[in-house]
A and B are shown apart, each in its own frame.
Chain A
Amino acid sequence: MSDRDFAGQTAIVGIGSSDFARLYRTPDPERTGEAMATEAIAAAIADAGLEKSQIDGLITGGLAHYEPVAYRTGLTDVRFVVDYPQAGRMCAMALMHAATAVHHGLADYVVLFNSVAFRTQGTKFGAQPQGLLYDTIYGMASPGAQYSMGFTRYQAEYGGTEEQLGAIPVAIRSHARMTPGAIMQQEMTIDDYLDARYIAEPLRLFDYCLVNDGAVAYVVTTAERARDLAHPPVLIAGTAGRANFREWYVDLGFWDEACGSMKADLFDPLGVTTDDIDCLQVYDNFSVSVLWGLEGFGFAPKGQGLEWVQDGRIALGGELPVNTSGGMLSESYLQGWNQHAEAVRQLRGQAGERQIPDCDWSLYWCLSALPGASLLCRDGVL
């Protein structure tokens, strides 16, 4: 939304996350989508310093839907309910919906969550039904193969090596190792990355996000109410979406047009530029998504993103840290929701040894069939 008057009028005031590493080590079939959502909701409400009775809006997502969750959480008398399909691309859309709802008084405090059990369910992302373009009959399987196909095209247009691409998962892994609850804690060097098996060549195992269980919830309210709550408010400066439905999935321009549109919606009304952004907490379903977003949003020059990410530039301590809790490649595949939780910690100044000094602005994007983005900031910088 390109609305200067709406910017900073709403805030994320509470966050709650599962212990992803524990759930990964010990898959527990009794930890259902509803159970994990309930735990995350309870944690988010407590983190905000609210009473459950104050919650009057519910946005559900992932595996757990509104009635089963309402019964288990006692959130049975609310004024605003939305149920999103299970899809990472809905992350920014759900935040957009929550912010508009509280801004317009449809609810005072909205709790929203995503809850997934990909690991205990044995989800196989390659075993999808026939795609619209008959891809399965030709052996095309898995979203990763789609991004791999995009990367061969990218290399043909701009050059760059697989080793250069490895800098992205290597940097993000280094952040997971500093994050309690992150699933992938072992060190990963560029040689470890290159030694791993190909999945859909030229993409390797560590270009792919994790497949795990867990939930993340947050509470959204107005900035005015937020200033009376437990933590420094994290303001929603803007959210943006740009549908880019293509039957073949990867946009032929690597989502440049979608990124440009969302950047204009988020940045232009505020006079924000890429130089203002202190960290990126973005949808790293595959390493190449990070690359294409860096170029699409104008952080890296077009076609030079692979060179741009070298030498620690996107690691903590570098010019523009990316996915400082380990993202979906190494912390948890919570589909953008864990990235937002980390953005909140960074903007509150509560990220511990990962804390970015003077962190004022954090940007999120998701490049998929339905690209979405959000811009969060510290109170007082708008």
Chain B
Amino acid sequence: MSGEAGYAKPLPAVTHEDREFWAAAREHRFVLPQCQACGHVWFPPYASCPSCLSFDRGWTEATGRGTVWGFTIMRQPYIGSFEPELPYNVVLVELEEGPMVYSNLIGIDNADIACGLPVEAVFEDATDEITLIKFRPV
């Protein structure tokens, strides 16, 4: 997939804490921060380990697999740029590695979404710099 021209929806405000995460996503890799001192894996990519407070942060490749914890179907235009897609889904995915991530499910009717559904990550290039991680049923 290549970046859409004139992508109008919100984009992440990339900071020093998550620059490497988004750089990996651009290469269609899903990485999670991992503590080099204690091995803990966390998300979002804070600069330090929430378990042992070490700043010795590395990265580990995520499997991209997880299950849907919960979902909602957005029916009102809270964010103008999403209005053409109403009604659209938002899911909270529990990754195999433990962390929770928000995303959208693609390749499924909203009516078929269910908690516990096994899903895997897919990469959608939004702009030349940003690639979003979405999910589809396994």
Contacts and interface: CB of A to CB of B under 8 A. Distances in A.
A joins B in a complex: yes
Interface of A: 124, 126-127, 130-142, 145, 148-150, 152-153, 156-157, 197-203, 247-248, 250, 252
B70 A152 contact: yes
Contacts of B88: 139
Given A132-B44, A140-B90, A247-B44, A126 B78 contact: yes
Contacts of B79: 126-127, 136, 139, 141
B114 interface: yes
Chain B CB within 10 Å, residue with most, of A133, A152, A202, A247 = A152
Interface of B: 9-13, 43-44, 69-76, 78-79, 82, 85, 87-88, 90-92, 100-104, 114-116, 132, 134
A139 B82 contact: yes
Contacts of B11: 137
B9 A139 contact: yes
Nearest to A135: B102
Given A133-B100, A139-B88, A145-B90, 9 more contacts: A131-B102, A138-B132, A139-B9, A140-B72, A140-B90, A142-B78, A150-B70, A152-B70, A198-B76
Contacts of B116: 156
Nearest to A131: B102
A152 B72 CA distance: 7
25 contacts: A130-B12, A131-B102, A133-B101, A135-B90, A136-B10, A137-B9, A137-B10, A138-B90, A138-B132, A139-B79, A139-B90, A145-B74, A145-B90, A149-B70, A149-B71, A149-B90, A152-B71, A153-B115, A156-B70, A198-B75, A200-B73, A200-B75, A248-B92, A248-B100, A250-B70
Contacts of B44: 132-134, 247
A199 B86 CA distance: 11
A135 B114 CA distance: 19
A135 B43 CA distance: 13
A288 to B, nearest CB: 12
Nearest to B116: A156
A126 B78 CA distance: 5
Given A130-B12, A139-B104, A248-B102, A124 B72 contact: no
Given A247-B100, A248-B92, A248-B100, A137 B70 contact: no
A150 to B, nearest CB: 6
Contacts of B85: 139
A103 B61 CA distance: 55
A98 B76 CA distance: 40
A134 B10 CA distance: 10
B90 A156 contact: no
A139 B92 contact: no
Chain A CB within 10 Å, residue with most, of B9, B69, B78, B134 = B78
Nearest to A154: B70
A138 B104 contact: yes
Nearest to B69: A153
Contacts of A137: 9-12, 132
A225 B136 CA distance: 64
Contacts of A156: 70, 114-116
B78 A138 contact: no
A135 B9 CA distance: 12
Contacts of B71: 149, 152
